[in-house]
Amino acid sequence: MYKYATSIGVDVGQTMIRSAVIRYGGEVLTDLTLRHDPVKDSDELISHIISAVSKTRQEAYRLKVNPLCVGIAARGFVDYKKGIILGPDQGVKGWENIRLSKIVSTETGLPAFIDNDAKLMAIAEHHNGAAKSYDNVVFVTLRSGIGGAIIIDGKLYRGYDNAGGEIGQMSLDVLGQFSDKGIRGSFEYFASSVALIRNYLALSGQINEKGDKSNDKLRARDVFELSYRGDKPASKAVADNANYVGAGLANLISIFAPDIIILGGGMAMAKDVYLDMIRESAYSNSLGFCRKNVKIIRAKLGFHASLQGAGIFALTRLDGKHI
């Protein structure tokens, strides 16, 4: 694939569709964010995706650029070879067993390719972000759910049926509470932004004995801000969360002995004190020989990672290759 080739990268969210024109090298030429109300079903979400591709294509023409294909980043399980959404993590009714590649290609006339969003973020970071030049990489997204991807000897590890890399579902406590995925004491249950908020509400007395919350609008960002101002429950909740994140990373360090661990997602954008606590927990709970050279750093590409990954992935697949 020649270096000036372009594609349209799409990131599918529950209340927004982000799209961009991406060069093969990862350069973002232009990007759009189309916000929408929570959709009622998969048909409505697909219509938003088609609309985003159409508007981005119009913007590309304005720039005198002709995208060759479409890459789509979606949550949950994906059959990337056949372009099928297996679901169901998008949180949308009917978002399962959808031949999205075929639908988008038929509607737009462009070849379309799909993969899991965390895997595509990892591809982008490895291609030209924080993981560039590293062969063994663990990528972890810290957000309402915890996702991830693993790169071994420079190649994305996919596992059976592209299901590998579900880092958030490793169990940290087999006697713990069941997560919404049905796993006891999962990494995601203890270390996600949902867990951070749940712990803060409990520590600050905002959850009663029945489990009812008095504050349903609180975000992880708010808890971090409160901790920066010295709020004791918030500081304790952030410290607890960092300890759990570190414990999960420690398992990954001892199993994979990676060169680098990249932390993406909104929580990774917190101040350095949070990352320092994560590192302390990770290093102190992993084998010395496995951790001696590993780096734990923030993702570099931020908001554009999934879009860049989707665009690079699509152009690579169009070229007849697999990532």
Assigned domain for 259 exists = yes
The pLDDT value recorded for residue 212 is 60
Residue with structure tokens 């309402």? 144
pLDDT computed for residue 209 by the predictor: 55
Residues 187 and 202 in one domain: yes
Which strands make up the sheet holding 28-35, listed edge to edge? 28-35, 16-23, 6-12, 70-74, 112-116
Angle at 294 between CA 292 and CA 296, to 5 degrees: 135
- CATH code of the domain containing 184: 3.30.420.40
147 and 249 part of one domain = yes
Q: Is the domain of 166 the same as that of 196?
A: yes
Say yes or no: 107 and 141 in one domain. Answer: no
For residue 308, is it within any domain? yes
Identify the helix (H) or strand (E) that includes residue 261: strand 260-264
> Does the residue 76 lie in any domain?
yes
Look at residue 19 in the predicted model and tell me its pLDDT: 97
Count of domains in the chain?
A: 2
Q: What is the DSSP string of 141-164?
A: EESSSEEEEEEETTEEE--GGG--
Beta bridge partners of 72: 10, 114
On whether residue 194 sits in a domain, the answer given is yes
Same domain, 293 and 310: no
Query: pLDDT tens, position by position, for the chain (323 residues)?
Result: 667 899 999 999 878 999 999 998 889 999 999 998 888 899 999 999 999 999 999 999 999 999 999 999 999 899 999 999 998 777 788 999 999 999 999 999 999 999 999 999 999 999 999 999 999 999 999 999 999 999 999 999 999 999 999 999 999 999 999 988 889 999 999 999 999 999 999 999 987 655 666 667 899 999 999 999 999 999 999 999 999 999 999 999 999 999 999 999 999 999 999 999 999 999 999 999 999 999 999 999 988 999 999 999 999 999 998 88
In a domain, 1, yes or no: no
Same domain, yes or no: 137 and 283: yes
Concatenating the DSSP letter of every residue in 174-231 gives TTS-B-TTS-BTBHHHHHSHHHHHHHHHHHTT-B-TT--BS-SS--HHHHHHHHHTT-
The reply to whether 107 and 159 lie within a common domain is no
104 shares its domain with 219: no
**Does residue 60 sit in the same domain as residue 166?**
no
- Where helices occur in the chain by DSSP H, the ranges are 42-62, 100-108, 117-128, 187-191, 193-203, 220-228, 232-256, 272-284, 288-291, 305-318
* Residue 174, pLDDT score: 93
Q: What is d(CA 146, CA 156) in angstroms, rounded to the nearest whole number?
A: 18
The residue type of 41 is: D
Q: Tell me how far apart the terminal alpha carbons of the chain are, to the nearest angstrom.
A: 14
Distance CA 313, CA 71 (A): 7
Range of the domain at 13: 6-121+304-318
**Could you tell me if 176 and 310 lie in one domain?**
no
Say if residue 113 is in the same domain as residue 63.
yes
What does the alpha-carbon distance between residue 178 and residue 256 come to, in Å, rounded to a whole number?
26
Has residue 162 been placed in a domain? yes
272 is a domain residue: yes
Q: Are residues 84 and 162 in the same domain?
A: no
Domain annotation covers residue 128: no
